[in-house]
Amino acid sequence: MCGIAGDGCNCSDQHLKRGSLTIPSLLLLLKKKPSHGYELAERLSTLSFLEGVPDPGVIYRHLRHLEENGMVESRLEPGSGGPARKIYSLTPEGDSYLRTWALTIQQKKKSLEGFLLEFNRCLAQEAEKENLSSE
């Protein structure tokens, strides 16, 4: 159990039920390219599977937790004409954590597909009964 959220493993089914893909999305974006917080917020907004973009404060809080737990690391990079920026990158532990998330999501997807298959069969049977009774 990773315990980043303080209530057990973040990549558990419990967090999927809440619909929060913010943490694995941050890890995925960092796997693609190290980034600073503002850039991550912009990139999160382009992901079609997120239900809304979290507040920047939430993003930075997640990044801090991920860093405290060794999932990401940061370095300061001089800003162009402004203050230095903190650039976050994925650690090997973070990559492993992202893979665990992906596996959890894959398992949930399989369960949901199974449910929908059964539901659609039920609807088809109902429609068939209605067609037979209307003839």
pLDDT of amino acid 1 = 44
Residues 6+ apart with CB under 8 A from 34: 87, 88, 89, 90
Domains of the chain: 13-105 (1.10.10.10)
pLDDT of amino acid 55 = 87
Q: Tens digit of pLDDT for each residue in 64-96?
A: 999 999 999 999 998 788 889 999 999 999 999
Q: Tens digit of pLDDT for each residue in 88-129?
A: 999 999 999 999 999 999 998 999 999 999 999 999 999 888
pLDDT of amino acid 19 = 47
